Amino acid sequence: MGVQGLTYLIEANPEIYQKFEFSESRLVIDGCNFLYLLYFDSGLDLIRGGEYAAFEDLVERFVNALKDCGISPYVVLDGCTNLTGKKYETLLSKSLDRLQKAHKAAVESSQEKVLPQMASLVFRQTLARLEVPVAQCYLEADQEIAALAKEWKCPVLSNDSDFFICDLPGGLLPISHFHWEVVKRIGSQSYIPSKIYYSSRFCKVFDIEPQLLPALSSLAGNDYVQLQRLNASIKWAEFAPAVNGKSPQRLKGLLCWLKDFKQPMEAFEAALGLLRELSEEKKAEVMEGLNLGMEEYQLPPSSLKRFFIDGVAPPFPEVEEEMAGWVLLPLTQARLNSNVLHVLLFSSINLSCPVGRADFPSAHLTSRPIRQVMYRLLLGETLVNENDREGLQLKSFQVQPAASGVPEELELKSLNQAEPSVCLQVLLEALGVPEACLDGLQPHLRLLVAVTCFWLQRAEPKPDEALLKALLLGVSHGDSLRQQAALKREKKPLKLRLDADVLHSFNQWQGCLRQSVILNQLLGFPLPEPQIARCYQGTLVHRLVHMLRTEQQLEPFLKSEPSVMREYKNMLTIVSL
């Protein structure tokens, strides 16, 4: 989403913004946009699989800053996205770009903007622990965010330029101008210094009618109107005068041109008149795209307001008869991953592209048997398309649901009523671990150990002793690592050379853990969900592997309580059986 060039234009005209001392208000947060920007701007390592304890600490400090100022946050997250839908070209282009960045980061050890696999789960777990209200939409969240903020007349926090187009009575607080790290005080009142944007101010500065803002987005080119098709013929910059001998910006010219119109359709018809070389058929296609782009800004009544107040899940717009209605509430609560809905609606799933070399096999191949059990629970015997990488290409692979391991009577429509013991057996059989193996472990370690057993059996190449020990040392020292992160976040990149084989192996483990967490959610949490920020630190496990392989002494690095080392040795014994 987003209007290309609009943020740059607004930043170049700072009089559009107003200074704002923000306090004592609701705040609707664009959760996915904020998550990405918070992690990418944190200075945390991006290439070794995630600095989750430090990221958890960062999220907690952000929430505490809001609460100190009397701000009540409401976080809204995206749901599933269909790669075969009307935005196919845009979504495919973004996925390919992420794949290229993931490969470049692994080859060059560069800090590309590729989100670690479990960062989203850490974000959600931290918000849940801090009792921050969260809603996960069924599909994309932009309209729901804007509709809720409009009804509550409160600001939106986001850097998505689409919100510059929306009519938000409470305004938009751009994340890049929201200085939550420097809470200030006037008397007894604390506030966050920020800048606020109102669409009315934008229209006044550029002298256009407010109802033309959605038309501006469509004509500028968006997910529905490809720029090369519309703007190859129309040179919008020619409609604005040059300033100091410099050519004007494209959007500035488009805004000058729009001054002559009152309604969007007038502007669209005039724009088509400028496309003289296009056939009538092509013009009709462009007009359809322009109108589709406009629909994004026609806000329906908020479907999340009742959820946040009364805890009632919104109705699904196109519920199919075979879909189990019970899944809607845990989906909206973000207690059930949106991949579940993606499989139910589209019989497909889009797999992430973690940092890794493209000449290695996809790390997601290792965790496929876990997903196959999920497919069986959701769709029975229906094939599922997994959208994954092969080299530097994205491909769709047909995957058969698991042939065994799921009792016939365990159907989706009644899965929420199944006996916990049955669900536990399904989960453990998927991971190939007998329940007796987990006896004696603390509850929060059971899923982690079961996943590690699965990883040892399935990973290619098979993990060596140094990888296993480094991983379990990191898991057993989770609480102390979180405390260290709260005292001082590590911002300097690890100097140790990136080992692509180690990275690939730990990518496989994280993929197995993530899919096991999703399966555990679907089965109603037969095992406690592990707190990810306490069980994996990318730079730590990479450093530990190096130390173990070079026979360096670990005692100075990990000064452990006897109970912690007993826990480590217990886990090591179980997974080595």
Q: What is the pLDDT of residues 246-269, one digit of tens each?
A: 445 788 899 999 999 999 999 999
Q: For residue 472, what pLDDT is reported?
A: 94
Comparing 491 with 98, the larger pLDDT belongs to: 98
Pairwise CA distance, residues 563 & 213, whole Å = 62
Q: What percent of the chain has pLDDT over 90?
A: 72
Q: For residue 451, what pLDDT is reported?
A: 98
143-154 pLDDT per residue, tens: 999 999 999 999
For the chain, what is the radius of gyration of the CA atoms?
25
Q: Which amino acid is at 170?
A: G
Pairwise CA distance, residues 377 & 324, whole Å = 12
pLDDT bucket at 39, cuts 50 / 70 / 90: very high
CB count within 10 Å of CB 398 equals 10
| Residue keyed to tokens 């210094």 | 193
DSSP 234-292: --GGGGS--BTTBPPPHHHHHHHHHTT-SSHHHHHHHHHHH-TTS-HHHHHHHHHHHHH
Least trusted range by pLDDT, from 277-281, 335-339, 452-456: 277-281
Could you tell me the sign of the dihedral formed by the alpha carbons of 505, 510, 511, 512, in that order?
Answer: positive
pLDDT bucket at 449, cuts 50 / 70 / 90: very high
Q: Which of 21, 351, 355, 312 is nearest to 193 (CA)?
A: 21
Comparing 480 with 426, the larger pLDDT belongs to: 426
Are 118 and 513 spatial neighbours (Cβ–Cβ below 8 Å)? yes
Q: For residue 342, what pLDDT is reported?
A: 93
Q: For residue 347, what pLDDT is reported?
A: 94
Least trusted range by pLDDT, from 6-15, 85-94, 194-203, 250-259: 85-94
Least trusted range by pLDDT, from 10-24, 215-229, 481-495, 509-523: 481-495
- What average pLDDT does this structure show over 165-173? 96
Distances (CA, A) of 228 to 144, 261, 366: 30, 24, 40
| Residues in contact with 395: Cβ distance below 8 Å, sequence separation at least 6, in sequence order | 387, 388, 389
pLDDT at 75 over 60: yes
Q: For residue 233, what pLDDT is reported?
A: 64
Pairwise CA distance, residues 191 & 71, whole Å = 9
Could you tell me the sign of the dihedral formed by the alpha carbons of 26, 295, 159, 242, in that order?
Answer: negative
Is beta strand 172-173 parallel, antiparallel or unpaired with respect to 384-390?
unpaired
pLDDT at 378 over 90: yes
Pairwise CA distance, residues 390 & 352, whole Å = 12
Q: For residue 73, what pLDDT is reported?
A: 98
- What average pLDDT does this structure show over 327-354? 95
Residue 25: Cβ-neighbour burial (10 angstroms; 0-12, 13-18, 19+): middle
Least trusted range by pLDDT, from 137-151, 365-379, 445-459, 485-499: 485-499
183-199 pLDDT per residue, tens: 999 888 999 999 999 99
Q: Which domains does the chain have, with CATH numbers?
A: 6-78+116-205 (3.40.50.1010), 210-295 (no CATH)
Number of helices (H), then strands (E), belonging to the chain: the values are 23, 11
- What average pLDDT does this structure show over 54-78? 97
Distances (CA, A) of 471 to 79, 446, 468, 507: 31, 15, 5, 12
pLDDT bucket at 86, cuts 50 / 70 / 90: low
Pairwise CA distance, residues 8 & 11, whole Å = 5
pTM: 0.93
Instruction: Tell me the pLDDT of the chain averaged across its residues.
Output: 90
- What average pLDDT does this structure show over 379-407? 95
107-117 pLDDT per residue, tens: 999 999 999 99
pLDDT at 445 over 90: yes
pLDDT bucket at 278, cuts 50 / 70 / 90: confident
| Residue keyed to tokens 């934008």 | 202
Q: For residue 241, what pLDDT is reported?
A: 75
Distance of CA 358 to the CA centre of its chain: 22
Q: Please calculate the CA angle 287-292-298 and round it to the nearest 5 degrees.
A: 130
Q: For residue 490, what pLDDT is reported?
A: 45
pLDDT at 513 over 70: yes
pLDDT bucket at 228, cuts 50 / 70 / 90: low
Token pair in block for residue 159: 């850097």
Pairwise CA distance, residues 258 & 489, whole Å = 49
Are 85 and 350 spatial neighbours (Cβ–Cβ below 8 Å)? no
Pairwise CA distance, residues 411 & 432, whole Å = 22
Q: For residue 488, what pLDDT is reported?
A: 46
| Residue keyed to tokens 């207690």 | 335
Comparing 399 with 239, the larger pLDDT belongs to: 399
| Residues in contact with 440: Cβ distance below 8 Å, sequence separation at least 6, in sequence order | 570
- What average pLDDT does this structure show over 96-102? 94
Are 104 and 112 spatial neighbours (Cβ–Cβ below 8 Å)? yes
Q: Between helices 465-476 and 538-549, what is the axis angle to 10°?
A: 140
Are 542 and 500 spatial neighbours (Cβ–Cβ below 8 Å)? no
Q: For residue 317, what pLDDT is reported?
A: 72
Q: For residue 285, what pLDDT is reported?
A: 81
